[in-house]
Amino acid sequence: MKKLKIGLIGSGGIAQGLHMPAYAHFSDLCEMVAVCDVRLDVAKSCAEKYGIKMVTDDYRELLANKEIDAVSVTTPNKWHMQPTIDALRAGKHVLCEKPLAMNGDEARAMCRAAKETGKILMVALPNRFNGPAKFLKDYIDAGKMGDIYYARAWALRRRGVPGWGVFIDKEQQGGGPLIDIGVHILDYTLFFMGYPKPVSASGKTWDYLGKNPNLTNNMGDYDRSKFTVEDFAVGLIRFENGAVVTLESSFMANIEGDPFQTQLMGTKSGALVSPWGNHVRIFTEENKQLFDLEPKNVPHLNGGQGEVEAFLRAILENKPSPVPGEHGLILNAIFDAIYKSSETGREEPVDVTV
């Protein structure tokens, strides 16, 4: 089988922590041939580590390389859209980091480019490929939970503002914890619910704690005066099928611990699942007895590797995108409505048209 030639646009935290090791792991399927970063020294050190022959600080130069079949876009959110659209138009398949874009309009443009070019656009959402997701999706698809009509999704950190990168800069990120980590738990939740179509959302965001220089932080230091995103967000999302999801996401909040989980309520049973820690519990009733079930054989899977393998195999086997751009658009459009609702004080429509 022909090995796919891979390029990487962005060689920071997630590129080094997930994409590069995963591509290296699947060396029977692919080969990394080019890496780009505006910090050329960082790109160079990655190239040395993985034996990547082309290094550049201009992603357009990378895209001009005809031998490249597919790219990972692992830049900060502001630089997801243009490199992705340019890559698709240059005939490359794209695995783009989450959130797909800064907002719904950008995500829409990316989905259109994928449609026009016929290339794969996959959103990097690795939790879908971990053990609890595999177990619970199979359980739900077997009809064991009935109809899921409500979910409570939490991506909460007590003192977890990222001290690196540009995560506190609204102009480069599009938002704070809602768009950065809320995206993981909302995707996880909607994946289990079969991605129903959202119609409207209301919500509220605050920034009382993130700007406060007197508070401690558990994820490195940062300049409080540059904190322009929310530190906590809550949203209530309504779906066309009548289901509702509430979403809470924080970088800082005065709460117990750092709960990262979703609680699904179905007509036959419910579930509490956390994407990290292989933890799933099922809540059900039989013969007027209540049961809390803990599955014992939840597989241990590496979500990051699973994501990259799914991307590579979709290209090689001519399959549809394992996590389509349209799902990224739904997530971005929901965040747009929650942010807007926080300003207007009203419920706002969610526009998911491509």
Does residue number 325 form part of the binding site for ligand NAD (CB under 6 A)? no
Nearer to ligand NAD, 79 or 232 (CB): 79
Give me the DSSP letters along 80-118: THHHHHHHHHTT-EEEEESSSSSSHHHHHHHHHHHHHHT
Residue showing the smallest CB distance to ligand NAD in the complex: 12
Q: Which of 6, 8, 9, 298 binds ligand NAD (CB under 6 A)?
A: 9
Min CB(59)–ligand NAD separation in Å:
5
- Helices 325-344 and 182-192 cross at an angle (nearest 10°) of 120
3-state SS assignment for residue 160: coil
CB 71 within 8 A of CB 87: yes
By CB under 6 A, tell whether 12 contacts ligand NAD. yes
Binding residue for ligand NAD (CB under 6 A) from 47, 71, 77, 176? Answer: 77
Residues contacting residue 344 through CB under 8 Å, at least 6 positions apart: none
Work out whether strand 70-73 and strand 260-266 pair parallel, antiparallel, or are unpaired: unpaired
Residues 122-141 that bind ligand NAD (CB under 6 A): 124, 126
Residue with tokens 């079930």: 293
Q: By CB under 6 A, what part of segment 23-62 binds ligand NAD?
A: 36-39, 42, 59
Site for ligand NAD in 83-112 (CB under 6 A): 97-98
Give the number of residues in contact with ligand NAD, rule: CB under 6 A: 25
Name the segment binding ligand NAD (CB under 6 A); options: 76-84, 188-196, 214-222, 326-334. Answer: 76-84
Is 191 a binder of ligand NAD (CB under 6 A)? no
- Asked if residue 11 binds ligand NAD (CB under 6 A), the reply is yes
Where helices occur in 99-204 by DSSP H, the ranges are 104-117, 131-141, 170-173, 177-180, 182-192
Strands 93-97 and 121-124: parallel
Residue numbers at the binding site for ligand NAD (CB under 6 A): 9-15, 36-39, 42, 59, 74-77, 79, 97-98, 124, 126, 164-165, 180
